[in-house]
Structure 1
Amino acid sequence: MNVMEARLAKLALKGDQRAFAELVDLYQDKLFHMAYRMLNNRQEAEDVVQDTFLRVYKNLDKYDEGLKFSTWIYRIATNLCIDRLRKRKPSYSLDAESSEHEGLDGYSMIPSDNRTPESEVLLTETQKIVHQAIESLPPKYKTIMMLRYIQDMSLQEIGEVLDMPVTTIKTRVHRGREFLRKKLEHKL
């Protein structure tokens, strides 16, 4: 898979449209699922996927072949999601110090009206509760928990995607789990 991605990226860099189309096919569903889970909004998730591929296309010449292509594309998509989360207008503040905690603005408490019958069927009751708990995390933890437990990335990969030291990722995974544990204690 990684060898194929690298080959496709090289061909796309040389202007091979078919290779770029294959990269799109390879990633659009994965990126959509990640963006949808982070943003909880179908339209915004579709926009993020489109923006990601536009950026990939425009910046193919900047792609560092020392980095896995998947890491690079996830980094772009994740950053676009985080930007959107930060720009959302808070409906209220979770606490008085919210400006100190980047993005801790209560947006995640707003119920989503984007649920589809298919997505309802796919999630068991427990999964739903866990997903809702992840939804309510502050963005800096939410992103990491999504990448770790929903995208099933290693701490190392998350560090590369978010361009952070693994020690920071470990701390945030630990704190994110603590947040979740407290939330789930009341629900499960």
Structure 2
Amino acid sequence: MEFVEKRLIERAKRGDREAFAELIEIYKDKIFQLAYRMVGNRQEAEDIAQETFLRVFANLHTYDDQYKFSTWIYRIATNLCIDRGRKKKPDFSLDEEIEQGEGLDWYSRLSSKEQTPEEKVVTQELQETVQDALSQLAPKYRSIMILRYIEDLSLQEISDILKLPITTIKTRIHRGREALRGRLRFM
């Protein structure tokens, strides 16, 4: 995959729009999922994913191929999510009706032949509870928890994306888990 990706990047740097479209195809779902987990809103996640690819296109000439492309694109998306969180004020209402299934990704909506309806409800409630607790974490902890446990990135990859030392990453993972545990206890 890396060889193919490198060739696509080289072609895209030379202005080949089809190569860039293929890069988007490779990363669009991953970037959307990262953004959705960080901001908790489908429309905002789509906007962030689109903005990520616009920035990648505009700055592709600055990409240093000594580093993994995935690290570079995840850094752009993560920073956009954090910036969005800083600018945003809460926009929810206790009277607002919640759309069925909101807050869940497509995979969590797939039915399983082994689960009973009761088990499905319990699973859905648990996922909503975890997502809600995750969304309440400070952005510096939320981004690391998502990158580590949902995107399954290594400490080094997270360090490269966020440009933080691994010791800081470890500390924030520990504090993020503690904060998440505390929030889940009271839900």
TM-score calculated relative to the size of structure 1: 0.81
Corresponding residue for 1:147?
147
List aligned pairs for 1:79-158, cutoff 5 A: 79-89=79-89, 113=98, 116=101, 119=105, 121=109, 124-158=124-158
Contact 1:42 1:114 (8 Å CA) reproduced: no
- Counterpart of 2:164? 164
The answer to which of 24-33 and 112-121 deviates more is 112-121
Q: Work out the CA distance in 1 between the residues paired with 2:52 and 2:146.
A: 18
For residues 149 and 97 of structure 2, the distance between their equivalents in structure 1, rounded to whole angstroms, comes to 21
Q: 1:164, 1:138 → 2: CA distance? A: 16
Q: Point out where structure 2 has 5 or more consecutive residues left out of the alignment.
A: 111-122
1:180 maps onto 2:180 in alignment:
yes
Q: Secondary structure at the match of 2:186?
A: helix
3-state SS, counterpart of residue 157 of structure 1: helix
2:113: which partner in 1?
none
After superposition, where does 1:52-67 map in structure 2 within 5 Å? 52-67=52-67
- The residue aligned with 1:96 is none
The alpha-carbon deviation at position 182 of structure 1 amounts to 1.5
Instruction: Name the count of aligned residue pairs.
Output: 170
Structure 1 residues 61 and 19, CA, compared in 2 at 3 Å: closer, same or farther? same
User: What are the within-5 Å matches in structure 2 for residues 3-22 of structure 1?
Assistant: 3-22=3-22
In structure 1, what residue type is equivalent to 2:16?
D
Q: Secondary structure at the match of 1:124?
A: helix
How far is the alpha carbon of 1:116 from its aligned partner? 3.8
Ranges in structure 1 where 5+ consecutive residues have no aligned partner? 92-106
Shift of the alpha carbon at 1:115? 5.8
* 1:2 alignment counterpart: 2
**8 Å Cα contact 1:40-1:112 kept in structure 2:** no
Q: Give the AA of the match of 1:44.
A: E
Flag the 1:133–1:59 CA change in 2: closer, same or farther, 3 A.
Answer: same
CA contact (8 A) 1:134 1:180 kept: yes
- Over the matched positions of the two proteins, sequence identity in percent amounts to 56
The CA deviation at 1:113 is: 4.5
* TM-score normalised per structure 2: 0.82
Contact 1:35 1:77 in 2 (8 A): yes
